[in-house]
Structure 1
Amino acid sequence: MARCGRKVKVVIKEPLLSFDYLNSHDKDDCPMNEKIRLLEAQLPELIGKEKINALNELCFFYATRSTDKALQYGSDALLLAQEENDPVGEAEALSKNGIIYFYLGDFDQSLRYFLDSLKRYESLEHKLGIAKTLLSIGNVYSRLSNNELALEYYQQSLVISEALNDPVGIASCYQNIGLIHDNQEEYNLALEYYTKALQLSEKLNDTEKVAKLLNNIGLVYEHLSDDQKALEYYQKSLEICESVADKAGLAYSLGTIGTIYKRAGQSGKAIEYLERGLKLAQELKAKELSLNFYAELTELYAQQEDYKTALMYQQQYLEARDAVYNATQSRQIAEMQAKYDAEKKKREAEIYRLKNVELQKEVDQRKEAEKKLRQINEELTQLHREKDEFLGMASHDLKNPLTSILGFVQLINMLGEKSLDSRTKGFLNSIEECANQMFRIVTNLVDLNRIESGKIHFPLRTFDLRFALVQVINRYQSQTDDKQITMNFELPHHKCLILANEDAVDQILDNLISNAIKYSPPESSIYVRLTDTGEHIHCEIKDEGQGLTPEDKKKIFTKFARLSAKPTGGENSTGLGLSIVKRLVDLMHGNVWVESDGKNKGSAFIVEFPKPSQAH
């Protein structure tokens, strides 16, 4: 059986970031979620240093959970610390902002914040702050694959942590130094530092860190081709994760053990451990981790010639891969937008501050402030332009290879119509479906970027909406037949002339009709009606689907909207179609809205097109 594609090895091998090390100093008996809930409730009443500390803690908590909130709290903490002249709070806020950009993958921005934080701590001779920031800088260089600089900063942090007799900081440095030697294939040195970190972590009773270190040591022994030794450490990690009910750690450990047994040719044990790990990954809804299990199990069952089970896991792999891809694309775009919004807010706050300060100063100072304002505006414009260029380039760079993939698949199908077996044809159909889905995503991104950047211009002309509507409905005849959906029409006998662009109207109707089919249950009905109000032509498309909640209706025409309703036949949704509909209707001086009485009560989309005499 063909392999599922490139797989990520199921191991735990993550550097222990200084952000984790900071948390270790501040552990208490209060569950973190409860502590954060209380902090957010108290925040409006806090002032001065207490509020700065609370904002910094909230920023750290949300760094890996909600980019928008983390950036908001980080920005507020930094501005308040500067206003209150709190140098320690400012250094801490700079460090926390560095953490956010680290997790966003913007390592240049992250490094700038950490270096600024380091300067503040050094001016205050704050040894603990210096140690943790040096470790953070080392983490950035580690992710940038600059092992030499990373090792230099880790060793500086270690010297200070040892002088402070701080076991938490020492253990963190040992682990990160071990990771650098691991990356450089200096496995004996890696084992030495991992072991030192393990001994300290066991004394500190830090079970989470102990489990990760045991996995890292097991991985080193794998590199040294000592699978028996590796298995011993993986089993120890597994026992710890089971004892503390750490499902995520347990899933990883089961995966590492399963791959050892697979390599040893013990298929039965490998399947047992991998399927246990997959069950946990599914419970945690960890789709990226599940991908690894699906891929490994596909190969194992194929080796045993159990092709039915292998095919089942391969299909689950393909479905999970598509879901991970879509989620990753949406997250990356959302993170880019969040970064842009945070920078914009910070610059706007700086503009406001400069305006108020400079009102009382000399003319030459006012000119200098105006120069800064111009520079800030240019930076904001550049940020917006870079965002648009990124979307445009990413979309166009994907479109050409996708066209080639679709062309080759169709050519293979045509040339091998009689010679290909049904199984191979099924694989080709899967490839074509995935490529078509990605092509639709890319096309939507290109269209949306053109509309938002003002690069789309189309001529308006008078035509009969009835014919445009019938053409789109005929296009979806096979889909309605597959789901046994009945299409009901109510069209006037007289012409329904509108002043619009035919291509744009086709795209609007295509999105609305396909959505109605996508979200309608089998054996239901869809109602399409054109109405001449005298001033406008109304096109209503009504289904008997899952309906919309009040919250759904508020965000239905926004980009990447994720609604409560889900496709009923396994179809995919990018969350862009209705956003494009709204923008195209607006460009043609029309109006669009949705009506729904609630969940499971269907929904109706109404588009109002201007008649020639009413056009602007």
Structure 2
Amino acid sequence: MYLRAENEDEAAREREALWQARLCSLEESLEPTPSWSDADKRLELAAMLHWRGIYHPVLELLRPLTDSEFPTPVVAQARQLIADAHFRHDQYDLANRQYHENLEIARAQGDEYWAARAKDGIGWVLIEVGHYTSGEFADAHKVFAETLPVYQKNGKPLGEAMALQGLSRAYAGAGDYDRALQNAEQAITVFRENGRTDYLQLPLIQMAMIYRDYGSFHLSDPMFEAAIDAADWSQDRYSQVTAALGYGCLLGFLSRKEESRKIWQRALTMADRHEFPRLAHEISVQLANDAVDREDFRSAYEHQTAGQRYGSQIGVVSPLLNNQHLLLRNQLHHTQHLQDALAHLTAGIEASVDGIFVLGEPQDNIAKGDFVIRFVNACAAEMLGRRPVDILHVMMGEVWRSPTAALLQQPSRRVWETGELCTLDPVQLEFKEGHPQWYSVKIAPIRDGVAWTVSDVTKREEMQREILAQRDRLEEANTRLVALDREKTEMMAIAAHDIRGPVGNIYSISRSIASDEPETRRWLGVIEAASESLLAILGNLLDVERIERGELSLDLQPIEVSLLLEEVVEQFSARAREKRIGLKLDLPIASAWARADVNSFRQTVQNLVSNALKFSPMDSTVEIRLSVAGRRLRIEIRDEGPGISPEDQDLLFGKFVRLSSRPTDGESSTGLGLSIVKRLVEAMDGEVGCISTLGQGTTFWIEFPALSLREAMGG
């Protein structure tokens, strides 16, 4: 909270320590005579002191930098900071003259940005002078409206946000609160988007004061607290005092006099210490009025004297105790705002689609937790099936006799006793006999009672229950599908196992029969090839069944991949020659090792090479390439076949997948080979993938963690 006591806030102490450390570092590094080399340090040090509300040392640091021997940007920034220091310390005449001088110099130099900065300063002077005279808010609005596009064009977000802040103040001074709020909100957005949260307190204070003056106290209160926290965090002394002054006024309107008085007293100490006479004057006026209300005339006299002293520094004389008519006018003004706000709130409550019940403290029946109905809106009356006028000041238990009423009685009594909010969501209530509905009920403590906000959530609950029922049905269907898939796999495995023996016998017999007849040899070759193909299909089926049952046993050990690849190439050389396909092995490294199961690794490469040969046309090439990059070993099998469509690539590694492209020589395909490859590779901690463009061939790749020779040898 605002103006924390010393050593109360750990974060504040840390920021203060960092600030002091940076301050000391800058002071120690300054040269005795200002020079180009330390100009930036002087500017930074002056800005830090200016932010903290320190006046005269800032002027001493900056004045030497206004000499023409320094670079133009340094001079411009120093002159602007001097004017800003005059302004912050309520030296409006000095500030105004300096801003006009800066404007003339910037125009002569053709510097659009610093000209805009100077014009902004003139606009702020117009706004502050407008507090004590007839006001110059229209002229100020014109100034900021001219500078805003300059900052936007030159990419100066801080200037843009400050111009928006100036427009907000000008609109507020002219009584256009809606536009004032819009510009303040835009300023907040620009500050946040550009990481300048150290300036957020400025538009937050503006919005809080607008809401306060507009009578929206429920919005003003949290906005002031946010502004105060932002000012505390940024250690902006001027904004801290400004926020405290405004927040104290709000607390006074809310009859929190003691709090407002304490805040004003602490703020006055800070305003006096940092030479903010205008703010000190306004706080003294508020403290004097507060003392009059308390009939503490001694304190009123002291604050009146102090206020006149501060006022004389800025040329303002306040009648204080002689301005009772002004106080009365302000009071009537704010009372009207309160009445308007209450009317808006009442209209909103009446139009609410939620039932709102205001229940008062019970005079008796306390053991039952019953309450007196003080207010119900139209929706709440409709729930009870009664007119509001018929049930006001009647015990709730007499109006709502449903057994479900007990569901709210005990929680309401607990909220009333503890002051803690309670939410019941969902709860089934029966306001009308025979019509139970689902509701979300919030029970909040209020003065001398509780308030219910009752929302009908029947449709939501019915939808949620339908979703849950649908989920249960889907889970049940999925369980059945998994069971059927398991049964299918088991049946196929049994069939494959039973068929494998006879087929194996046919294959063996066909190979053992010798004949000199060409026709007989041809048919024996057909039988042998068909048997071999059928045995491969049955082997794939059994492999899938064994993998899915978790019976795959792997013996992971270091293997020399290059030797295994040479074996596979040798194995498929004859088939490649039959199809007039070049089978090429590219081994750019002498030796490469990986940890894998020898048989599973060989089966994986065999399947991929076999596929490549199946889908490759005559007079093409299948290339097998081995590479090692870092700790990854990669094998690529590239063919010059028809390629694979993007649609088929999404299905490649599924079971029983038949792709749109077909083998070039009519070979059979179960659609299981790639599924087995994927499962074997992943079981060996590897990865498999495919790169293909339709009509341009296909490259399948597998990767495994590589082993160094030392690791492979067990070193």
For this structure pair, what is the TM-score category when the shorter chain's length is used for normalisation?
Answer: 0.3 to 0.5
Q: Whose RCO is larger (CA < 8 A, sep 6+)?
A: 1
Could you say which structure has the higher helix fraction?
1
Q: Which has the larger radius of gyration?
A: 2
TM-score (norm 2): 0.34
TM-score (norm 1): 0.38
Could you say which structure has the higher strand fraction?
2
